[in-house]
Structure 1
Amino acid sequence: MPRFHCPVPLAEGDTLSLPAGAARHVQVLRMQPGDAITLFHGGLAAHLLAGQPRPSYAQGSFEAVITRMGRSEVEVRVGAQHDVNESPVPRVHLLSGVPANDRMDWLVEKAAELGVASIRPLMTERSVLRLKGERAEKKQAHWQAVAVSACEQSGRTRVPEVHPVSTLAEGVQGADKSAMRWVLSLSEGSQPLAALLQAGMPEDVYLLSGPEGGLSTAEEALAIAQGFLPLSLGRHVLRAETAPLAALACLMLR
Structure 2
Amino acid sequence: MPRFHCPADLSPGAEIDLPAGAARHVQVLRLQPGDAITLFHGGQDGPGGEFDATVLRMGRSDVRVQVGAHHAVEREAPRAVHLLAGITANERMDWLVEKAAELGVASITPLVAERSVLKLKGERADKKIAHWQAVAVAACEQCGRNRVPVVHAAVDLSAWVRAQTQGTGAEAQRLLLSLRAGTQPLHAATAGAGPVLFLSGPEGGLSAGEEDLALQHGFAPVTLGTRVLRAETAPLAALAALTLA
Matched, 1:230 2:235: no
| Per-residue deviation, residues 164-188 of structure 1 (Å, max 9, x unmatched) | 1111112344254321111111112
- Measured against aligned partners, the alpha-carbon deviations of 1:78-102 in whole angstroms (never above 9, x if no partner) come to 1111244444331111101101111
Q: Kindly provide the amino acid, as one letter, of the partner of residue 46 in structure 2.
A: P
Matched with 1:51 is: none
Identify unmatched segments of 5+ residues in structure 2: none
Structure 2 residue 108 is the aligned partner of structure 1 residue 115:
no
The structural deviation recorded for 1:252 is 1.0
| Alpha-carbon distance in structure 1 between the residues aligned to 2:196 and 2:72 | 24
Q: Identify the match of residue 194 of structure 1 among 167, 183, 187.
A: 187
Q: Retained in 2: the 8 A contact 1:120–1:171?
A: no
Q: Which residue number corresponds to residue 247 of structure 1?
A: 238
Match of 2:203 in 1: 212
Task: Map residues 37-186 of structure 1 onto 2, 5 A cutoff.
Answer: 37-43=37-43, 54-56=45-47, 59-173=48-162, 174=164, 176-186=169-179
Q: Secondary structure at the match of 1:81?
A: strand
Distance in 1 (alpha carbons) for counterparts of 2:18 and 2:198: 35
Q: Write out per-residue CA displacement over residues 48-94 of structure 1, whole angstroms, 9 at most, x where no aligned residue.
A: 6xxxxx322xx011111101111111111111112444443311111
Q: Normalising by the residue count of structure 1, what TM-score does the alignment of the two structures yield?
A: 0.91
Tell me if the contact between 1:95 and 1:171 (Cα under 8 Å) persists in the aligned partners.
Answer: no
TM-score by length of 2: 0.94
How well do the aligned residues superpose, as a CA RMSD in angstroms?
1.3
Runs in 1 of length 4+ with deviation above 4 angstroms? none
Segments of 5+ residues of structure 1 without an aligned counterpart are 49-53
- Answer whether contact 2:112 2:157 (CA < 8 A) is retained: yes
Alpha-carbon distance between aligned partners in 2 of 1:145 and 1:157, rounded to the nearest angstrom: 14
Map of 1:29 onto structure 2:
29
Take 2:228 and 2:46, find their aligned partners in 1: how far apart are those partners?
43
The answer on whether the counterparts of 2:176 and 2:219 sit within 8 Å (CA) in structure 1 is yes
Aligned to 2:242, the other structure's residue is in SS state helix
SS class of match (2:82): strand
Instruction: Determine the C-alpha separation between the residues in 2 that align with 1:20 and 1:172.
Output: 37
Give the conservation status (yes or no) of the 8 Å contact 2:76–2:145.
no
